[in-house]
Amino acid sequence: MTSMSTRGRRLAWIGGLLVALAAVVLIECRSPTARAWTQRALDSLYQYVATWHDTWEVVGALATAGAVIVALAGIRHERAKTKNADDRAKVADDRLATERKAADDARATEAEVAAEREKRAQARLVIAWVSWKVDHRGLGGAEVGHWIGEYGNYSTAPVFDVEVELFQRFRHHPQHPEIAEYKADKSDEAAVLPPGASDWFDSGVKDRARKPIVYLYFRDLAGTRWRRMANGELFEINEQREPLPPEFACS
C-alpha cells in the first residue's frame, strides 16, 4: 500500500508538471490546432488522475500546476510591462533626438545667416546711382542739363576692379509698351576705390524724362566679385560676370 501510495504521488506530481507544461502551451501557442490537441491531452490527463489517484494527491498536483501557471502569467505580465517601458523610453529618446536635431539645424541656419551677412557686409556699402545735373536755365527758367552716373565706397576698406555702366532707354518694346529697352551709354572704371571715396561721370542723356539705369561691378577686400543691379540687388558673380549657382553664391 505504501509502495502504491508513493508511486501514486510520483505519478501525480508528474501529472501536475504535465498540466503545467500543457498550460504553457495554451498560454503561448496561437495555433488553434495546437491548442485543441493540448486541450484534449489535458482532458485525458485529468481523467487518468481522477481514476487512479486519491483526491489529496490530485489536489496537491493541481495546486502545483496552478502555482506554475500563476508564475508564468506573472512572468508574461512583467515582460509586457518591460516592453511597454522600453517602448515609452524609445519614444522619449526619439523625441529628444528630434528636438536636438531641430536645435542643431536652427544653430546651423543662424551660423549660415551670420556668415552670409558678414560676407556681404562690405559689398552692401558700395553703391551706384544716377542723378540729374543742371547745366543752366534756359528761357522761362527751364532747366537744361543731363544725367550723370555716381558711385561710392562707403565701407572701411578699399574695393577693386570697379566698373560702372550706364544704359539709356531708347524705346519701348513693340509688343509690350510697358517694357523699356535700353542700350549702353557711358561707363567709368577705377582700379581701386578707397574707403569713403566717391566719383561721378557724365552720361549722354540730356532728356530728363529718359532716366538711365546703372550697373556696378567690383571686387571686395576678400576677393569676392559682385554686381549691383539697377534696382539695388546685389549678386555674387564670377570673373566672367556670370551669377554663381545658388550653392556657391551667398545670395
The 10s digit of each residue's pLDDT in 9-22 is: 555 556 565 655 65
* Structural contact between residues 148 and 166, judged by C-beta atoms closer than 8 angstroms: no
If we measure between CA atoms, which residue out of 54, 23, 55, 58 comes closest to residue 38?
23
The 10s digit of each residue's pLDDT in 203-218 is: 988 988 889 999 999 9
Q: Can you give the residue ranges of every domain in the chain? A: 1-118, 123-237
Average pLDDT, integer, range 120-134: 95
**Confidence at residue 7, expressed as pLDDT on a 0 to 100 scale:** 58
**Confidence at residue 53, expressed as pLDDT on a 0 to 100 scale:** 54
The band of 227, judged by pLDDT with boundaries at 50, 70 and 90, is very high
Residue 28 has pLDDT above 70, yes or no: no
* Mean pLDDT score of the chain: 78
- Rounded CA gap, 20 and 111, in Å? 66
If we measure between CA atoms, which residue out of 190, 182, 174, 68 comes closest to residue 128?
190
**Confidence at residue 48, expressed as pLDDT on a 0 to 100 scale:** 62
Grid cell listed for 147? 544725367
The band of 222, judged by pLDDT with boundaries at 50, 70 and 90, is very high
The pTM for the full model equals: 0.53
**Confidence at residue 183, expressed as pLDDT on a 0 to 100 scale:** 80
The band of 248, judged by pLDDT with boundaries at 50, 70 and 90, is very low
The 10s digit of each residue's pLDDT in 132-158 is: 999 888 777 788 899 999 999 999 999
Residue 247 has pLDDT above 50, yes or no: no
Residue 43 has pLDDT above 80, yes or no: no
**Confidence at residue 120, expressed as pLDDT on a 0 to 100 scale:** 92
CATH architecture of the domain covering 123-237: Sandwich (2.60)
